[in-house]
Structure 1
Amino acid sequence: MTSGGRSRSRWLWGLRAVAGAVAALLLAVVVRLPWAGDLGIHAATIERLRHDPLHPGDPLVDADVPSPYYSPWTVLLGLVAKATGAGVFGVLRGAAVVGLVLLLSGIWHFVRTLTERRAAPPLAVLCVLFLWGPSLFEWSGFLGLNSLALTVSYPSTFALGLSFHLWAWLRKALRAGSGWPVFLGLGVLWAVVLLTHQFTGVVASLGAAAMLLGARPWPPRAVLLRLAAGLALGLVVLAVWPYYSFFDLFGAGGDLERIHRALYRDLLGRFGLALLLGVSALALRFRRDRRDPLVLFFALGAVVFAAGGLSGHYSWGRVLPAALIPAQAAVAVEVAGLVGAALPTGRGLRRIFAPALAASLAAALAVGAWTQTGTLGYVLPKGALPSAVTAKYRPPWPGYRWITPWVRYGDVVMAKKFPARQIPAYGAYTVAPGYPDFFLPDEVAREDAVRRYFAPSTPRAERVEALRRYGARWVVAYPGDGGLGEGDPALRKVATGPRGLGLYRVVG
């Protein structure tokens, strides 16, 4: 082996070692399963399915309505919980392992359809996790290391893992002219992704469209017919899914737009390095192939994202991974090609950009890794972290397990929005959902009841009536939250939680 070959081999094994270490870190995070964001609603969903797999009702409030959280994945997890007797959080840890394996293997699988360079898959894993921006960003469906550590057990991670495999299998099927079973299977897989996490399903759909539009050679008519049949079968699966009406979700809006407006803020700080280097890599690919699938994928994602911002449909911002993922993959593929081959000679865009791209990527990955070093705090005790890392660490939410000696499954709790996002994870319901609930017809009335209960000017009789109207057996509140006072005859305090949070039994 030449010295250049030995150098490339060491570089490849170094990349694989780093990617493996990051995967091991994420597996260690699964053991702790840090709680932030939407973990409560996913735990509540499995809890409802464990108790009644056929008619689980709303996962957050005591109402017999459907919910988009009842997806093929969560139904399977609920059945596992019912069959094994495992606790909800144990099942979620298993879901996290499956989701992580699917995601990492999916990235590997997809990138291998783009290049034969062996360095590209591990480099793509590092790009997806670290090539973001200098500002920390966490959101379900966005695959930065810190964000993934908090959402690895979510359905969005499972759906993204399936999406990478979907794109890879679709590329292979179009290239090989596969038969009817393959394309029908791809249609079902596409539907499962959409049912599991609708926003990720849009990303998966844009990626699949890009794989088709970028296919070379262009598929013959017989293959396109099989693809159309697979699409039709996927639509049938969406239409017949019994737990909720998928197509009714197109009427959702309101609170979703307000929540997602944050996705259009600080774009350079959160995503600047990925977009800057990604556009450079995509320019190299566009120069070689005007129908490059990664270029088309990026363009579709960028157009939909921009349209959402311009039209005020801010929930469309969840499609941003459709621009980030192809940008990150393009950087990995281009840099792997540069290192895996002799330095390009002659003139041209590649000779100018490729070496600079490799050096820039190394620096950007270092910045991304440093920005997300707080993830170590989900594995190591805070005292074991260096002071510079400790400053970046944010402790997970404590949860509400402390109420479970008194609050039973199915009890209704009056609580403000933040506790309402966690309490249902332990089997109880809340008066109002902690998240927008499109299928709940009295959502506004429930939210108004909670707001009025805690408002300082609300008469006592109205507060008591709100508790009775929704069958609330408990109140969870801080001393300064408002509501009925601690000495009120309608309440009896039974426990005190973190930071003075009180649990009160409704007795009158």
Structure 2
Amino acid sequence: MSVTTGNTGGTRGPGRRLTGPGGPLAAVRTPRGAAGTALWAAVTLFVVLMLLVIVRLPWAGDLGMHAATVERLRHRLLDPGNPLVDENTPSPYYSPWTVFLGVLARLTGLSVWAVLRIGALFGLTLLVTGVWRYVRELTDRRSAPPLALLCLVLLWGSQVFNWSGFIGLNSLALTVAYPSALALGLAFHFWALLTRALKGEPAGWGVFLGLGALWAVILLCHQFTGVVATLGALGTLAGARAGRRAWLRLGTGILLGVLVLALWPYYDFFALFGAGGLEAIHRPLYQHLLTRFGLVLLGVAALGVRARRDPRDPLVVFFLLGVAVFAAGGLTGHYSWGRALPAVLVPAQLAAAVEVAGATRGALRNAGAALLAAALTFGAWAQAGVLGYAVGRHALPAPVAAKYRPPWTGYHWITPWVRYGDVVMAPVFPARQVPAYGAYTVAPGYPDFFLPDEAKRNAAVRTYFAAGSTRSAQLEVLRSYQVRWVVQRPSDGGLKPGDPGLRRVASGPAGQVLYAVVR
């Protein structure tokens, strides 16, 4: 079997192991010289920044969902039920990773927030080491891994874009505790292991079985990142030109992965193929592409260079597959397919780093390095507001503070009264946070494919808060769902302040009030 990689002159050949003074570990040494020192310093600053962010754990987006998931698993590991509402339904959020965190919380007695910080630290470690390891399989240039890490977090655009599975610096700061961050770290390790397994003579059966199991774990932890991992694996296979023996072993690994997916007890993975109702949520993925991702065009140019050298280059094929899925989603109105966009961004960002690191010395190399340095600097400035998640807004200079967007404040203020398992009536925004503290809400704050009465629950919440609803209809909703508490502002609607059906208990931020339901 022949193997070609289509990389720069610094790329390893088939079966070649980098050696030199100090043995094989010399291959992972950091780059030398002023440029190398600057790269290493930048990566160190990135890691320190992320560690400070993990300590503060800013809350935005889906963090409450993941906290609620761990909380349910802590209390009922084998049969946790729905993480958001008081129903015994499965949930795709019960992944191998959240089950592990639930076990950790159960055994240690640590709070869910402490456990999520531990998970974030583990996910960050996997991401950094995974990038490093994968890039080392693409090239032997010592400056490539740190440069690739910087490209992945900074080479984006002028407009900050936050979404799980997207690792722009600001987005990563808000999602580092999510399963998507861990899944992407595993994906980089998966690509690295697959690349090495296909070099020269294919690896043994056990390696490919392990790769199949790892592929299944990634898909179970975060389904969209699992799609990205699969597209990257297809790119690797195209570049490797695998022979018959490799395909047989790979097929066995795939069968094991499918078996793991089929046997996962917490939810039916294959039922997700019929999930609907996600298109409107994902439509923004197709908007403002140039301002959000314009700097990635440098990586697209680098991919063009690689494509001329080898049309089956793994990064090129990875990129083209990502473009195909993303474009198909936009053209057909399946906007949830836009979650494959990292399969477009990641190979381009990696290509920019690998090409600049591997360019021969001279004017072209200097020009490419200068252009990439300028783009990274611009990208860093565009996301400078992320510093506030590490040190707080008060410590930021005014120009940086203007870019900072404060995280959510949370609902810790209700915990002296609201107990685990209590049902709370709340509008959509509080419903995305309240379950993190152990309570349930009447309707889930997020779409739930496995909840059969989701539409009925959403209608009940609308009835309670609607201006035209009668008092009797509102009280019937509270009785039907055994609601014990209500979180609302005067502008939300609902029963009026002073109504005998409610008793004011506590006040929260932005005029919110916690009421006990009088039975």
* Amino acid of the structure 1 residue aligned with 2:390: V
Residues matched between the structures, number: 488
User: Matches of 1:389 and 1:219 in 2, distance apart?
Assistant: 50
The structural deviation recorded for 1:14 is: 1.8
Residue of structure 1 equivalent to 2:281: 259
**Counterpart mapping for 1:426-465 below 5 A:** 426-465=437-476
Structure 2 residue runs of 5 or longer lacking an equivalent are: 1-30
- The 8 Å contact of residues 132 and 144 in structure 1, kept in 2 or not, is answered as yes
* Amino acid of the structure 1 residue aligned with 2:177: S
Matching of residue 357 in structure 1 with residue 380 in structure 2: no
Structure 1 residue runs of 5 or longer lacking an equivalent are: 1-6, 345-350
- The 8 Å contact of residues 68 and 84 in structure 2, kept in 1 or not, is answered as yes
The structural deviation recorded for 1:20 is: 1.2
**Counterpart mapping for 1:191-340 below 5 A:** 191-215=216-240, 218-254=241-277, 256-274=278-296, 276-338=297-359
The structural deviation recorded for 1:362 is: 1.2
**C-alpha offsets along residues 221-272 of structure 1, whole Å, 9 cap, x if unaligned?**
1111000000000000000000000000001121x11000000000000001
Residue of structure 2 equivalent to 1:21: 45
User: Matches of 1:384 and 1:14 in 2, distance apart?
Assistant: 25
Residue of structure 2 equivalent to 1:109: 133
User: Matches of 1:43 and 1:480 in 2, distance apart?
Assistant: 28
User: Matches of 1:382 and 1:25 in 2, distance apart?
Assistant: 14
User: Matches of 1:279 and 1:504 in 2, distance apart?
Assistant: 55
User: Matches of 1:145 and 1:219 in 2, distance apart?
Assistant: 36
User: Matches of 2:457 and 2:437 in 1, distance apart?
Assistant: 21
User: Matches of 2:313 and 2:39 in 1, distance apart?
Assistant: 26
The structural deviation recorded for 1:499 is: 1.5
Give the structure-2-normalised TM-score.
0.93
* Amino acid of the structure 1 residue aligned with 2:173: A
- The 8 Å contact of residues 148 and 350 in structure 2, kept in 1 or not, is answered as yes
Residue of structure 2 equivalent to 1:183: 208
Residue of structure 1 equivalent to 2:361: 342
User: Matches of 1:499 and 1:149 in 2, distance apart?
Assistant: 25
Higher mean alpha-carbon deviation, 17-26 vs 80-89, is at 17-26
* Amino acid of the structure 2 residue aligned with 1:23: V
Residue of structure 1 equivalent to 2:507: 496
Matching of residue 482 in structure 1 with residue 519 in structure 2: no
* Amino acid of the structure 1 residue aligned with 2:285: L
The structural deviation recorded for 1:480 is: 1.1
Residue of structure 2 equivalent to 1:379: 390
* Amino acid of the structure 2 residue aligned with 1:10: A
**Counterpart mapping for 1:76-91 below 5 A:** 76-91=100-115
User: Matches of 1:332 and 1:424 in 2, distance apart?
Assistant: 42
The structural deviation recorded for 1:219 is: 2.1
For the residue of structure 1 that corresponds to 2:484, the secondary structure is: strand
User: Matches of 1:310 and 1:449 in 2, distance apart?
Assistant: 35
* Amino acid of the structure 2 residue aligned with 1:244: Y
**C-alpha offsets along residues 415-447 of structure 1, whole Å, 9 cap, x if unaligned?**
000000000000000000000000000000000
Give the structure-1-normalised TM-score.
0.95
For the residue of structure 2 that corresponds to 1:505, the secondary structure is: strand
* Amino acid of the structure 2 residue aligned with 1:416: P
The structural deviation recorded for 1:355 is: 4.5
User: Matches of 2:299 and 2:385 in 1, distance apart?
Assistant: 25
User: Matches of 1:403 and 1:8 in 2, distance apart?
Assistant: 54
Matching of residue 394 in structure 1 with residue 419 in structure 2: no
**Counterpart mapping for 1:31-180 below 5 A:** 31-176=55-200, 177-180=202-205
For the residue of structure 2 that corresponds to 1:398, the secondary structure is: coil
User: Matches of 1:393 and 1:323 in 2, distance apart?
Assistant: 27
- The 8 Å contact of residues 208 and 252 in structure 2, kept in 1 or not, is answered as yes
- The 8 Å contact of residues 277 and 357 in structure 1, kept in 2 or not, is answered as no
For the residue of structure 1 that corresponds to 2:451, the secondary structure is: coil
**C-alpha offsets along residues 56-104 of structure 1, whole Å, 9 cap, x if unaligned?**
0000000000000000000000000000000000000000000000001
The structural deviation recorded for 1:343 is: 2.5
User: Matches of 1:383 and 1:427 in 2, distance apart?
Assistant: 32
* Amino acid of the structure 2 residue aligned with 1:191: A
Residue of structure 1 equivalent to 2:12: none
For the residue of structure 1 that corresponds to 2:486, the secondary structure is: strand
- The 8 Å contact of residues 72 and 83 in structure 2, kept in 1 or not, is answered as yes
- CA RMSD, 1 decimal: 1.1
User: Matches of 1:203 and 1:328 in 2, distance apart?
Assistant: 15
- The 8 Å contact of residues 29 and 379 in structure 1, kept in 2 or not, is answered as yes
Higher mean alpha-carbon deviation, 381-390 vs 319-328, is at 381-390
Of residues 361, 376, 379, the one that matches 1:368 is 379
User: Matches of 1:279 and 1:501 in 2, distance apart?
Assistant: 48
- The 8 Å contact of residues 420 and 434 in structure 1, kept in 2 or not, is answered as yes
* Amino acid of the structure 1 residue aligned with 2:83: P
User: Matches of 1:450 and 1:261 in 2, distance apart?
Assistant: 25
Residue of structure 2 equivalent to 1:4: none
User: Matches of 1:373 and 1:331 in 2, distance apart?
Assistant: 22
Of residues 1, 7, 10, the one that matches 2:34 is 10
**C-alpha offsets along residues 304-359 of structure 1, whole Å, 9 cap, x if unaligned?**
00000000000011100001000000000000012xx4328xxxxxx5xx554322
Residue of structure 2 equivalent to 1:347: none
- The 8 Å contact of residues 52 and 391 in structure 2, kept in 1 or not, is answered as no
